[in-house]
Chains A and B, each alone.
Chain A
Amino acid sequence: MEERFLQLLDEHQGILHKVCRLYRDRSVDREDLFQEIVYHLWKAFPAFQARSKVSTWIYRIALNTALAGFRKTSLPVTLSADLPQFISPISNDAGSQGEKLYAAIRCLKEVDRAILSLYLEEMTYEQIGQIIGITPSNVGARLHRIKNKLKTRLKEK
């Protein structure tokens, strides 16, 4: 069973990394959260009967773990009004765009982050609703509002 679980985890570990990056600011906290999610997945694995997709099951437990955990308050970040002297040569590549995206998503409320991440994973409103526990129409309404907010955030950056 352990090997089957590890295989599954290996195939879907991207989900865990994404959830950790969405809900924790510091790398040490992300590492802690990663381990906590693995712990809860492993404990829940014997009861997993593949009625839902593996990714849905993993997302459900990962989000539950991330939102139920107590976070240490991050240190306040002070932003300078001056432009930086040096511009990173990789500032326009996919990594930088991804950083921008994650930074914008982290400004959203916790549940909105979850809804948006599931949407970005190409899940249907029905699937998102099942994971979050709201109706598909509510998912649509929330997503509309989230997209507008995100658009504004990304324009600001």
Chain B
Amino acid sequence: MDLDGLKSVWQSQEIPAKSMTQMREMVREGRHPALARTRKMLVYEAIAWGLFLVVFYNAFDGHLKPIWLNGLLVVAFLFLLAHHVLGIRLMSKHKANESLAVSLEHYRTALKRFAQVNFISRLLAIGSLLFFFLYGIEWNTKKYFLSAGFVLIIVIQLYALNRIWLSRISDLAAYWQEED
């Protein structure tokens, strides 16, 4: 294909048109598939952790643990859920009427900040949960190994989470790197 013909091929392409009804539905329902998936995940997670917060005091002997530890657990999970809500706001923030370079740089900065707080909130939630269950137990060799296993799993999870965020952020930066 000749380069001179590119424009005509580009402009003569048949476009699969959507009807006005389809587009009206999209607008009225405010459809955003990625946002909807995240919202759904947040609702499930909120229900799960909400239930946990309701029952943990009685079911997991919260009354036998210090009040500050119960408080820490509640605060850590509320912080995690609040952070999820911030994530939805970040995704739904409308794409500003500015150049691609400026807009993506703003987005990258926001994503970086979000990733850092995400890491901290996860660490705080999982750490406080582990601390809650391990507090006041009678230690023996088996429990030491079990706890070490849990800690290892948490470290691996957090490492993987961090890698995912770093790769997303570096993908955004890589858009502007010139190829050889």
Contacts and interface: CB of A to CB of B under 8 A. Distances in A.
B94 interface: yes
Given A35-B33, A39-B26, A97-B1, A133 B9 contact: no
A120 B34 contact: no
A111 B176 contact: yes
A7 to B, nearest CB: 9
Interface in A90-114: 94-95, 97-98, 100-101, 109-112, 114
Interface string B98-117: 11111110010000000000
A72 to B, nearest CB: 10
Interface string B113-130: 000000000000000000
Contacts of B34: 32, 36, 69-70
A36 B32 contact: yes
Contacts of B175: 67, 109-111
A122 B8 CA distance: 10
Contacts, number: 139
Contacts of B28: 2
Contacts of B59: none
A147 interface: yes
Interface string B20-63: 10011011101111110000000000000000000000000000
Contact of A38 (B31, B98, B104, B178): B31
Contacts of A112: 179
B94 A40 contact: yes
A17 B15 contact: yes
A64 interface: yes
B13 A120 contact: no
A60 B27 contact: no
Contacts of A94: 9, 12-14
Contacts of A133: 98-103
* Residue of B20, B28, B99, B179 ringed by the most chain A CB atoms within 10 A: B99
A132 B95 CA distance: 14
A144 B177 CA distance: 16
B23 A13 contact: yes
Interface in A52-108: 57, 60-61, 63-65, 67-70, 94-95, 97-98, 100-101
Contact of B100 (A35, A40, A43, A63): A63
Contacts of B17: 13
Contact of A10 (B3, B20, B168, B177): B20
Interface string A109-133: 1111010010011100000001111
A133 B97 CA distance: 12
A43 B94 contact: yes
The 7 closest A-B pairs by CB, nearest first: A133-B101, A133-B99, A64-B95, A43-B94, A120-B10, A32-B33, A39-B32
29 contacts: A6-B27, A10-B20, A13-B17, A17-B16, A35-B33, A36-B33, A39-B35, A40-B95, A48-B97, A60-B100, A61-B97, A63-B100, A64-B100, A64-B104, A67-B100, A67-B172, A68-B172, A94-B12, A95-B13, A95-B14, A97-B5, A101-B10, A111-B175, A112-B179, A117-B10, A133-B101, A133-B103, A147-B3, A150-B6
